[in-house]
């Protein structure tokens, strides 16, 4: 092939510039967000896995192994098809704890910085040859297209471009946490380019190489040996190991981990990827066979791995060679960019930071940013040296293949972290050491450097892979069973394990507020970084900076650790948080945060089935009972932390359940704190009618408690106290009202007796006095008789009042007249009666009454009520003043009010005005039975009486008495009314 170097350079550089442009416009927000965040973009970005290894080497694989060339695609597709079991749980962990690499994940799970360091070192060994392979592929293809060009110069130019791109678009602002949307869109674009390139080359091979599909089939039928090789079943296990290696590679290669988990923008995108990525690989694998066959049909003289490039040249259409070159360039560049970004983070977190950390005075973000940039450059140029120094290009390809087998050694640890909580740090590292040693001794060293330490054992790659994995698994299990996990490891295992509940530590922190968090973290991070991180964590949790609840502070601590883990790696972050934000010394380990457990179960609900689902339903039912119980339920932990606060409790106290849960008892405010605290310390299990004052209202509350004893199991620490609060205020008021009515009734009975006993003698005295008055001519005697008559009249009136009062109190409701009473008519009649009195003649009456106001009852009783009230108003008002009588129909009631312009009723006597014989009038002016009588009659009419105090009326300081009766509706069955007996 004889392309001009300048042409190749222009095409290559132009393509890389397009990548820069796409990343730039994405980062600037010029591409709509719905496109950038679309699951298809995420799926395509995962196509980064199809590196030059897949792009170029698949034709050679297909030639040698037939359909076995699909084994890598099947392996990684299987990992995605099983994503709910493998990738989804890991995604949740990485999102919650800001873990950006497998080294982070393993260091977090096994709570060991060494786990991260060893993982990083093994990854470096396995992946660096893959980097070199990309550089070599680009340099080789350039040399193929332009034989006069220098491979080395092209490799250098390629490395420079990739270094610049990775640094500009992959390092962000140095926090290590943010997603790189420009990078993801660019990688997705590259996936589209390589897929289109292969599909175009596939169609080109079919139509240009054979003339169509039928002709290709016809040619294929003339190649029995080729068909035999294509479809011949491989020896057992041949492709299973390859598929297993690539299944593991989905998680255990740094670039795939980085794109799947770190750059995932929504868990739903992983759902799409579960079938989308296998489909992508299927499309990618389809054109491989036609390309291979077309090149074989024309006896191409070029290396079989580069048929994608040479086919166009062989078939006389050089432009297709350029298309093949661009596809290969996209495969190489995409992988190099992502792999260096992910490796740089791993190296920084697990190789650099454990031995060299920035001081508090330095700008940590800037420090990390520049270290990452340097590491990216170092990795890319390390890959270049790995390509440049050895002369054997075949060796690089072989070593890169062997490198992928190294990632297989992480499979046991990955499975165990999700499904085997018993596995521990010592077991993991022992298994990894054994497996990796076998891989190194039997594969890596012999292939990369020719050193064969045990030449007598002639094992195939497949055998070594299987043996190393088996030894790894066995060692991991045996050592884990023989060694103990630390407490931290057990907590971490619970967090990672799919089937276990996360048990948050319910303990108090030494720092009691977000401000204290900042002060504590200022020591290692500096004030600026500490403030920024704490504020960021508060924003992540939607938490207020004045939230001091222990539950919230624990959440804040967890969030901070996760955020710092994204910045500095999980090992450093955990150490830093443990040192500067420790729990208090009296914290009880194992005390679970029930709220956190419930949240977790709630989130997991749709995954529960069978007995677990039934148990969960039962749990919900019991919880709902407690929540909806009409008694206040408050559950306290041993550290006086509120664990449960039901709805009745929330209504009673005004503190919502979700706010109260997690608070310390001292933080719920008065008077509840004092009351609950005293009762909690008290030995008595019950306390009746405790009086509390809430916003000026007196409330009566009974308290009951039950103490939950400590469990023998160290994992169950739910001891504490359950307190029940029973609000008896309404009952107490009813009792008071009943007592009042009872008192009135007894007074009524007394009054009736007194009236009866006094009435007869008084009548006798009055008759005798009249006789004296009428029969004597002595003026002095007549005058005395008249005075006696006046006094007996007065006494008779009092007695009559007593009788009326007694009758009103003892009236049988069934004997009461039931008629439709027109309130307006009653008011007019009452005013007429009042005006008969001398004082009444000098008053003004302002009557505002709705004509349709009617009620059902005894009109005489209503008349008596109104006369009494108007008389009282008249007595209390100055002369010539106005008494206002209003009557209106409000909803289902009739309200009648009588207002005067007097001085009103003082608040001090408000409670006594309805008591019999209580009066503020001068002696001889009133009996004190008027309002008592009114009260009784209103009750008879099923009404309610209320007195508005002078202090409650701003415009008119006088008294207003308001009566409220059930209104009579015309719809009511009048026949009932007609049929009812009218009784006086």
Partner 1 sequence: MYIPPSTLMMLTFSYLIFLLSMDWALAVDGAWYRPFVICISVIAVAAWAYRENNSDEL
Which residue ranges make up the site for partner 1 (CB under 8 A)?
67, 70, 74, 77, 81-82, 84-85, 88-89, 92, 217, 220, 224, 227-228, 230-231, 233, 267-268, 271-272, 274-276, 278-279, 282, 285-286, 289, 419, 498-499, 600, 603-609
- For partner 1, the closer of residues 191 and 520 by Cβ is 191
Least separation in angstroms between CB 606 and partner 1? 6
Cα–Cα separations (whole angstroms), residue 64 to 57, 292, 307, 618, 783: 11, 11, 14, 60, 147
Rg (CA), the chain: 47
Least separation in angstroms between CB 367 and partner 1? 34
Round to whole Å and give the CA distance between 747 and 928: 13
Burial class (CB in 10 A: 0-12, 13-18, 19+), 677: middle
Round to whole Å and give the CA distance between 596 and 613: 19
Least separation in angstroms between CB 603 and partner 1? 6
- For partner 1, the closer of residues 272 and 357 by Cβ is 272
- For partner 1, the closer of residues 152 and 228 by Cβ is 228
Lookup: tokens for 534: 């704490």
Least separation in angstroms between CB 612 and partner 1? 8
Handedness of CA 136, 142, 147, 152 (dihedral sign): negative
Lookup: tokens for 959: 């008294």
Least separation in angstroms between CB 296 and partner 1? 14
Give Cα 304 to chain centroid, integer Å: 55
Least separation in angstroms between CB 524 and partner 1? 31
Least separation in angstroms between CB 239 and partner 1? 12
Q: List Cβ neighbours of 939 (8 Å cut-off, separation of 6 or more).
A: none
CA-based nearest residue to 255, from 454, 453, 407: 407
Give Cα 622 to chain centroid, integer Å: 22
Least separation in angstroms between CB 303 and partner 1? 24
- For partner 1, the closer of residues 81 and 947 by Cβ is 81
- For partner 1, the closer of residues 41 and 571 by Cβ is 41
Round to whole Å and give the CA distance between 723 and 737: 30
Enter the DSSP assignment of 813. G
Least separation in angstroms between CB 44 and partner 1? 16
Least separation in angstroms between CB 67 and partner 1? 5
Q: How many CA atoms lie within 13 A of 222 on its CB side?
A: 8
Q: Are 934 and 947 in contact (CB under 8 A)?
A: no
Q: Are 947 and 960 in contact (CB under 8 A)?
A: yes
Adjacency order of strands within the sheet including 686-694: 642-645, 632-636, 720-727, 697-708, 686-694
- For partner 1, the closer of residues 42 and 158 by Cβ is 42
Classify strands 944-948 and 882-890 as parallel, antiparallel or unpaired: unpaired
Go through 218-242 and write b for each residue having 16 or more CB atoms within 10 A of its CB, e for each that does not. Answer: ebbeeeeebeebbeeeeeeeebbbb
Least separation in angstroms between CB 81 and partner 1? 5
Lookup: tokens for 832: 């007429």
Rounded (10°) angle between helices 224-231 and 57-65 = 100
* Phi, psi (rounded to 5 degrees) for 800: -60, -40
Lookup: tokens for 571: 């090992």
- For partner 1, the closer of residues 209 and 435 by Cβ is 209
- For partner 1, the closer of residues 226 and 744 by Cβ is 226
Q: What is the 3-state secondary structure (H, E, C) of 141-172?
A: HHHHHCCCCCHHHHHHHHHHHHHHHHHHHHCC
- For partner 1, the closer of residues 93 and 438 by Cβ is 93
- For partner 1, the closer of residues 601 and 631 by Cβ is 601
- For partner 1, the closer of residues 280 and 387 by Cβ is 280
Q: Are 916 and 744 in contact (CB under 8 A)?
A: yes
Entry field: residues in the chain: 984
Enter the DSSP assignment of 896. E
Least separation in angstroms between CB 92 and partner 1? 5
Give Cα 879 to chain centroid, integer Å: 71
- For partner 1, the closer of residues 48 and 70 by Cβ is 70
- For partner 1, the closer of residues 228 and 510 by Cβ is 228
Least separation in angstroms between CB 274 and partner 1? 5
Cα–Cα separations (whole angstroms), residue 832 to 174, 261, 546, 555: 93, 91, 68, 76
Least separation in angstroms between CB 2 and partner 1? 34
- For partner 1, the closer of residues 9 and 419 by Cβ is 419
């Amino acid at each position: 092939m004889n392309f001009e170097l300048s042409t190749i350079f222009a095409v290559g550089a132009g393509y890389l510039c397009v990548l820069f442009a796409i990343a730039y416009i994405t980062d600037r927000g010029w591409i709509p967000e719905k496109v950038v965040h679309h699951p298809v973009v995420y799926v395509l970005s995962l196509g980064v896995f199809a590196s030059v290894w897949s792009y170029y080497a698949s034709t050679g694989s297909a030639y040698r192994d037939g359909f076995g060339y699909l084994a890598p695609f099947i392996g990684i597709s299987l990992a995605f098809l099983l994503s709910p079991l493998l990738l989804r749980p890991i995604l949740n962990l990485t999102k919650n704890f800001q873990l950006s690499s497998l080294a982070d994940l393993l260091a977090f799970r096994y709570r060991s910085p060494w786990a991260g360091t060893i993982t990083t070192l093994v990854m470096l060994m396995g992946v660096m040859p893959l980097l070199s392979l990309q550089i070599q592929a680009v340099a080789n293809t350039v040399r193929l297209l332009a034989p006069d060009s220098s491979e080395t110069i092209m490799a250098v130019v390629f490395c420079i471009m990739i270094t610049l791109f990775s640094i500009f678009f992959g390092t962000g602002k140095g926090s290590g946490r943010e997603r790189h949307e420009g990078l993801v869109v660019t990688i997705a674009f590259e996936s589209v380019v390589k897929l289109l390139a292969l599909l175009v080359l596939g169609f080109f091979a079919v139509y240009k190489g054979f003339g169509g599909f039928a002709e290709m089939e016809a040619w294929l039928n003339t190649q029995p040996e080729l068909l035999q090789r294509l479809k011949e079943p491989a020896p057992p296990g041949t492709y299973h190991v390859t598929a297993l290696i690539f299944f593991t590679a989905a998680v255990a290669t740094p670039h795939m981990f980085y794109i799947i988990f770190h750059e995932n923008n929504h868990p739903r995108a992983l759902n799409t990827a579960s079938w989308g990525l296998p489909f992508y690989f299927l499309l990618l694998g389809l054109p491989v066979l036609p390309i291979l066959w077309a090149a074989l049909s024309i006896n191409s003289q070029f290396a079989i791995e580069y048929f994608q490039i040479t086919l166009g040249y062989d078939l006389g259409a050089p432009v297709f060679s350029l298309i093949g070159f661009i596809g290969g360039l996209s495969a190489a560049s995409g992988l190099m960019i992502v792999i260096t970004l992910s490796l740089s983070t791993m190296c920084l977190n697990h190789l650099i930071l454990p031995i060299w950390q920035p001081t508090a005075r330095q700008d940590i973000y800037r420090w990390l940013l520049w270290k990452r940039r340097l590491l990216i450059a170092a990795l890319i140029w390390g890959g270049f040296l790995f390509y440049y120094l050895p002369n054997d290009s075949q060796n690089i390809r072989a070593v890169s293949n062997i490198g992928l087998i190294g990632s297989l050694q992480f499979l046991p640890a990955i499975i165990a972290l999700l499904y085997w909580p018993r596995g521990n740090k010592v077991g993991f590292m022992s298994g990894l050491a054994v497996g990796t040693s076998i891989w190194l001794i039997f594969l890596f060293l012999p292939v990369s450097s020719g050193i064969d330490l045990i030449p007598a054992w002639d094992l195939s790659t497949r055998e070594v892979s299987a043996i190393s994995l088996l030894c790894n698994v066995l060692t991991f299990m045996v050592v884990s069973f023989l060694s103990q996990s630390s407490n931290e490891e057990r907590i971490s295992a619970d967090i990672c394990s799919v089937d276990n509940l996360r048990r948050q530590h319910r303990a108090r922190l030494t720092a009691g507020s977000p401000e204290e968090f900042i002060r504590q973290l200022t020591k290692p991070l500096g004030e600026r970084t500490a403030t920024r991180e704490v504020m960021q964590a508060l924003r992540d949790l939607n938490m207020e900076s004045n939230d001091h609840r222990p539950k919230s502070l624990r959440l804040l601590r967890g969030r901070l650790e996760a955020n710092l883990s994204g910045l500095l790696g999980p090992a450093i972050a955990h150490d830093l948080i443990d040192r500067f934000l420790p729990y208090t010394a009296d914290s009880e380990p194992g005390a679970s945060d029930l709220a956190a457990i419930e949240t977790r179960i709630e989130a997991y609900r749709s995954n529960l089935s069978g007995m677990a689902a039934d148990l969960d339903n039962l749990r919900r039912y019991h919880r709902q009972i407690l929540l909806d119980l009409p008694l206040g339920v408050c559950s306290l932990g041993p550290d006086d932390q509120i664990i449960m606060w039901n709805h009745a409790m929330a209504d009673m106290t005004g503190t919502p359940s979700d706010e109260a849960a997690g608070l310390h008892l001292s933080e719920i405010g008065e008077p509840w704190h004092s009351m609950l605290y005293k009762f909690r310390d008290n030995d008595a299990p019950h306390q009746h009618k405790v009086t509390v004052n809430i916003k000026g209202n007196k409330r009566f509350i009974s308290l009951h408690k039950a103490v939950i004893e400590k469990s023998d199991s160290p994992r169950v620490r739910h001891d504490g106290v359950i307190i029940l609060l029973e609000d008896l205020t309404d009952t107490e008021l009813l009792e008071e009202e009943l007592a009042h009515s009872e008192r009135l009734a007894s007074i009524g009975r007394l009054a009736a007796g007194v009236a009866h006993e006094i009435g007869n003698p008084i009548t006798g005295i009055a008759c005798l006095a009249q006789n004296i008055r009428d029969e004597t001519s002595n003026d002095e005697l007549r005058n005395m008789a008249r005075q006696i008559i006046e006094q007996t009249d007065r006494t008779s009136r009092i007695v009559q009042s007593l009788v009326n009062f007694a009758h009103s109190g003892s009236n049988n409701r069934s004997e009461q007249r039931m008629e439709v009473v027109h309130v307006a008519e009653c008011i007019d009649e009452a005013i007429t009666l009042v005006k008969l009195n001398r004082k009444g003649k000098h008053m003004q009456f302002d009557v505002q009454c709705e004509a349709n106001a009617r009620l059902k009852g005894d009109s005489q009783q209503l008349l008596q009520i109104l006369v009494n009230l108007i008389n009282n108003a008249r007595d209390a008002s100055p002369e010539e003043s106005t008494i206002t009588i209003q009557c209106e129909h409000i909803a289902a009631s009739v309200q009648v009010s009588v207002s005067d312009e007097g001085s009103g009723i003082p608040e001090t006597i408000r409670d006594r005005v309805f008591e019999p014989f209580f009066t503020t009038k001068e002696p001889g002016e009133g009996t004190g039975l008027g309002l008592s009588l009114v009260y009784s009659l209103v009750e008879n009419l099923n009404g309610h009486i209320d007195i508005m105090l002078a202090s409650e009326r701003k415009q008119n300081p006088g008294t207003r008495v308001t009566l409220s009766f059930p209104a009579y509706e015309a719809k009511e069955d009048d026949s009932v009314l007609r049929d009812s007996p009218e009784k006086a």
